[in-house]
Amino acid sequence: MPCWVPPSPREARPGATLTRHGPADSVFGALTKAPSKPGRRGLLVVFLCSALFATAGASATVAPAPSLVDGSGRRPNVLLVTVDTLRADHLGAYGYRLGTSPEIDRLASEGVLFTDAITPVPTTAPALASLLTSRHADQHGVRENLAEFPGHLPTMASAFDAAGYQTAAFYGNGAIRNGFGAGFERFEPFGERWFFRDRRGAEKAIAFLDGAREPWFLWVHFMDPHGPYNSSPPGRSRAFAYPDSPALRRELQQVETNSGFGILPRYQRLDGLTRVGEYVRRYDGEILGTDAAIGQIRAALEASGQLDRTLLVVTADHGEALGEDEYFFQHGTLLHEPGVRVPLIMRHPGLPSGLRSDTPASLVDVFPTVAALAGLPAPDGSVGRNLVPSLRGAPTDGSVVRVSYTVTPTRQTAVRRGRWELRGTPHPEGPPDDFATLELFDIRASPARKLPPQAESAIRAELEPLVRAAARQVRENPSAARKMTEDEKARLRALGYID
């Protein structure tokens, strides 16, 4: 597992800063509040030892915090909310000035918000497989949407089921229909279509809660912010005021493909809309609709008296590009901040209220953290960390290495440590660690900044063996591609997943 050495003073980090890239930077900068300035803290330098993905665990200097199990031994209910394609920096709690997320913002004000959380992979099924198992693709094998989820791996659902919880999951994206229900007593789509409105998902969740036996574990995967942005009525975001910017007035070329740069993807087309700003507005309206659905579930918990007996976790599978790096209304191809940065919020009366934690986090950390809070053992084979000390406000001794990668033909791999990200893109036909480009980014700059090749040579030298090892490992044990029916292909095409 990784070895640790004392902090390097020159890498002491300031507070985390959300970053944006590309031509829309000035627009979103005008809509983002200035971040607060938490105190400085040291970073740990990471050596590559025997395995890059060994579980790091909590800092040795901080004792594990108590769980949320009460004095009578009663465990908390757990509500896990994941939102498809939700950018952290388009939420008020993360500094966005438009009113997209009053309900999520309220949860953040009552709980703990992680300012620096990422997805390991910006594609829905692989990302959610990592969330549920605390493993990367080399272990869970889910490398594409509609892939079969392996039923033999321990998951959050199986852990809670074994502990006596009633378990259920409702989802709005059919890309996770194959095997993701392992361990759940109920695993149901919002409706008969693959892409169904979040309002229906909230209704199904509330109906379950009305007769649920405590303790329960409920997962709801909302879908509205995923394109096409037509789930919410256009009037929902009409009152939002955007800057008068050339970036938002830009007319996009309409093409007959679902992926590419500088274009409006086919699956995103809405009648009569061609300007970037019109689609950004619709995206924000989708977030507001999902936020209302989350608020409906919260209201049901309050009305039944269960809210304060429930641990609420809100996060996303990945983000969305809104023009950064000339990538419009898509995700999955690039490992830039808009695609990999996700919200992560946890709320329970036993946790601090209004805490913003700069602890680096990943979706693979959610399972071990939630298990610890519920008084369950750490999951076997986990590559994630238990973040409970950070939830209690404990300072972190430093940063760990976080891995992200694409499962699209770009096959990008990146490692993050502190303020640095080293991102490799391999030659199209070469091994995954035979990089055509190897680029260093300062992800604490605003916007994130690519450094010239000669800059920070010592940092590059430290991170290069890590990113090469990661590129090899996440692509080990490739699973056989699942043969899709023509109907399945058509449904994936309608969501922009394939051409």
Burial class (CB in 10 A: 0-12, 13-18, 19+), 222: buried
* Overall domain count for the chain: 1
Contact 474, 123 (CB under 8 A): no
CA dihedral 103, 104, 107, 109 (to 10 degrees): -100
Whether pLDDT at 106 is above 50: yes
3-state secondary structure of 89: helix
Contact 388, 347 (CB under 8 A): no
Domain-located, residue 299: yes
Domain-located, residue 370: yes
The C-alpha atoms of residue 4 and residue 170 are separated, in whole angstroms, by 41
Quote the DSSP letter at residue 146: T
Whether pLDDT at 441 is above 80: yes
Domain-located, residue 458: no
Whether pLDDT at 389 is above 70: yes
More reliable by pLDDT, 150 or 280 = 280
Domain-located, residue 141: yes
pLDDT tens-digit profile of 266-325? 888 898 899 999 999 999 999 999 999 999 999 999 999 999 999 999 999 999 999 999
* Banded pLDDT at 30 (limits 50, 70, 90): low
**Amino acid in the structure at residue 218:** L
Q: Which domain holds residue 120?
A: 76-400
Residue 439 burial (CB count, 10 A)? 17
Domain-located, residue 460: no
Domain-located, residue 148: yes
Q: What pLDDT sits at residue 295?
A: 98
Whether pLDDT at 64 is above 60: no
Average pLDDT over residues 195-217: 93
Contact 82, 218 (CB under 8 A): no
Q: What pLDDT sits at residue 368?
A: 96
Instruction: Count Cβ neighbours within 10 Å for each residue of 207-220 and write b for 16 or more, e otherwise.
Output: ebbeebeebbbbbb
Nearest CA-CA partner of 106 in 315, 366, 291:
291
- Global pTM value: 0.86
Say which CATH number the domain at 187 has. Answer: 3.40.720.10
Domain-located, residue 35: no
Q: What pLDDT sits at residue 256?
A: 85
The C-alpha atoms of residue 223 and residue 86 are separated, in whole angstroms, by 9
Contact 136, 161 (CB under 8 A): no
Domain-located, residue 99: yes
Whether pLDDT at 160 is above 70: yes
Whether pLDDT at 21 is above 80: no
Q: What pLDDT sits at residue 305?
A: 97
pLDDT tens-digit profile of 459-480? 999 999 999 999 999 888 766 5
- Alpha-carbon radius of gyration of the chain: 21
